[in-house]
Amino acid sequence: MAVHAGFAVDQRDATRPLCRWRRAVCRWGRRRPTLPDVVARDTQPELPESFARSVASLRPVRMRSEIKLAEAPAPQRLAPFALAMTAEVGDPRDDEIASGRFVVLHDPAGQDSWQGCTRIVAYVRAELEPEMAADPFLAAVAWTWLTEALARRLEPQGFRALGGTVTKVSSESYGAMATRPPIAHVELRVSWTPDDDDLGPHLEAWGDVLASAAGLAPLPAGVAALPSRRR
């Protein structure tokens, strides 16, 4: 039986002062799904219709079984409404080899830099073999993880204003710490604006980036993702 991401909402009294925050807390369980982890900072008791549709579109998304999803505190100062979730990818020994964060921001008034009212902000971090960090093409390859995932999951005009950075980090230890092995990782910090309220394909694309960063083999054509592990 397929297990979908389940969400529950707890909206507080709308008569409280504006400085108070209403939180809707995400629950990944078997209950009938409603809405994910949402932070709202206006006095209206209901979510904006557009944002509610966006949130609802995340309900049926299924990640690969290797990806463990979890609720996360949503940012409180970037937009009037926001939701967030995190994910981890482990190896057979259950060591984390990749992790990420997926955030949806919504401002009913829109923001010029977003070129719209909704903005997706995503982060992916993956462990590397130390010699890979020295590859001059690593950043370009990591960027293609994202662009190819978006192209695969979305229509050509399904998003706009895509931007971000790729950071390579390597570390070697010396002195009393010289016995520690070198470590390296790559980080993607990206954001883009969806062209409609259906965010399911965007979440799926983020999952594809996590899988690529973790070195997971692509699923064969026609094979559906198994339910993801949840915490």
What is the tens place of the pLDDT at every residue in 173-201? 888 888 888 778 899 999 999 999 999 99
Q: Which amino acid, residue 173?
A: S
- Residue 2, pLDDT score: 25
Q: Token pair of 85, please?
A: 């979730």
Q: Of 26 and 136, which is predicted with more confidence?
A: 136
**DSSP annotation of 138:** H
Q: How confident is the model at residue 97 (pLDDT cuts 50, 70, 90)?
A: confident
Contact of 33 with 7, CB cutoff 8 Å: yes
Q: How confident is the model at residue 128 (pLDDT cuts 50, 70, 90)?
A: confident
Q: Quick check: 9 pLDDT over 50? A: no
Q: How many beta carbons lie within 10 A of that of residue 226, not counting itself?
A: 15
CA–CA separation, 34 and 21 (whole Å): 20
Question: How far apart, in whole angstroms, are the C-alpha atoms of residue 195 and residue 12?
Answer: 31
Its pTM stands at: 0.75
pLDDT of residue 102: 97
